[in-house]
Amino acid sequence: MRLALDGGTPVHTSGWPAWPPPATPEQRALLLEVLDGGAWGATAGTRVAEFATAFAASVGAEHGVCVVNGTVGLFLALRALGVGPGDEVIVPAYTFVASATSVVLAGARPVLADVTPDTLHLDPAAVERAITPRTRAIMPVHLAGAPADTEGLQAFGIPLVEDAAQAHGAARHGRPAGSLGAVACFSFQSSKAMTAGEGGIVVTCAREVYERLWSLHNVGRRLGGGWYEHPEIGWNLRMTEFQAAVLTPQLSLLDGQVAARERAAAYLAGELAAVGGLSLLPGPEGTTRHGRHLGVVRYVPAEFGGRSKADFVAAMAAEGVPLDAGYRSLSREAALRPYVGEASCPVAETAEDSVVWIRQNLLMADEDALADIVSAAAKVRHEFRAQPEMM
């Protein structure tokens, strides 16, 4: 039972599914079609517009604008809602830094609100305390693929900008993520459930918001206007036809991939709980479909001989199970200090010290590999308890 860190034999030695998955024949054919056709940019071809329409429809939205990445998508969403200098946007403290930096990019101030202890999603009670007369938007993050409590947040009467970067295929009370707020942003970065290496999309049901999004991402042009007509300031933030070619076939694969990850998460939730000291966090109540971009696991050091999260992650990696240490609380990010001040977010800070992630490629593994995750955790717990941290 000696740990692999100490020279023992690793539990898992056969590798894990690749992410992104191998390219499909349809993706290869579409890429070559774009390459040989010569219409590589979105203003020359049709694939970006066709993908935007199809993706928006898949999440219950009426309009979609494809952009260069998810961060820019959040920035555009805020600007399309009129957010700018002097305004405030409430964001959760436990999220990727882009949720906050997109607010800074829009010229506004990010205001950090803490998250709920059970799900690590934006806490409506913390949001209520953070609202001021300058609050122009609230940005719920659909962490790990589970939609946030948007009903609780909508009660404040402030527009919601869904950060749905991790929530492809997710749903709340039967409604898809992407249709739960005023506007929503998805990412197609390399790690995401749908990916073109980079890229993103902003979706909305409001025609006026859509027209502003389209103009802002297309150097200030207006729909139906002239090529050199620029009624407002905008930027060239368009997706390429190559990215749309890679993404389009993934729409038909998403449901099966989400279902596979949900089965894996259900298995791991029960088995890791039986190990002791580990629990897979649920989505907020009302989650009817969890995208399972991540399996978020609470690690209890006292059940592992007092050993730190860093020790646990290192030991699991040596056993062949690479876990992710997860986010830092944004309240501890020095780069944000000039914007957020001395924010106190104890739940997010506790999560930074006690939460690990199982990434989605591991959740796509077969049953034997999933069992190895459990066996490795049990082995590490046994050995850590036999050799506890010396205080």
**SS3 state of residue 199:** strand
- At 391 the pLDDT is 46
Residue found under tokens 């459990």: 374
Neighbours of 228 (CB within 10 A): 7
Q: How many of the other CB atoms lie within 10 Å of CB of 250?
A: 22
Question: Using CA of residue 223, residue 227, residue 229, residue 235, what is the dihedral sign?
Answer: positive
- Note the pLDDT of residue 315: 98
Give every CB contact of residue 298 below 8 A, 6+ residues apart in sequence.
Answer: 278, 279, 280, 281, 354, 355
Distance separating alpha carbons of residues 327 and 16, to the nearest angstrom? 23
242 Cβ contact partners less than 8 Å away, ≥ 6 residues apart: 31, 34, 35, 40, 196
Q: What share of the chain is helix, strand, coil (3-state, %, to 5)?
A: 40, 15, 40
pLDDT tens across the length of the chain (391 residues): 799 999 999 999 999 999 999 999 999 999 999 999 999 999 999 999 999 999 999 999 999 999 999 999 999 999 999 999 999 999 999 999 999 999 999 999 999 999 999 999 999 999 999 999 999 999 999 999 999 999 999 999 999 999 999 999 999 999 999 999 999 999 999 999 999 999 999 999 999 999 999 999 999 999 999 999 999 999 999 999 999 999 999 999 999 999 999 999 999 999 999 999 999 999 999 999 999 999 999 999 999 999 999 999 999 999 999 999 999 999 999 999 999 998 899 999 999 999 999 999 999 999 999 999 999 999 999 999 998 876 4
Q: Say which residues have a Cβ less than 8 Å from residue 318's Cβ, sequence separation at least 6.
A: 3, 4, 5, 10
DSSP string, 17-50: --SSPPPPHHHHHHHHHHHHH---BTTT-SHHHH
Domains of the chain: 25-252 (3.40.640.10), 254-386 (3.90.1150.10)
CB 104 within 8 A of CB 110: yes
Catalytic residues: 192
Question: What are phi and psi for residue 291, nearest 5 degrees?
Answer: -70, -20
Q: Which two tokens stand for residue 352?
A: 């930074």
Total residue count of the chain as it appears in this document: 391
197 torsion bin: left (phi>0), alpha (psi -120 to 50), beta (else): left
Tell me the CB-side half-sphere exposure of residue 14, using CA atoms within 13 A. Answer: 10
| Cα 325 from Cα 310, distance rounded (Å) | 8
Local structure of residue 389 (DSSP, 8 states): P
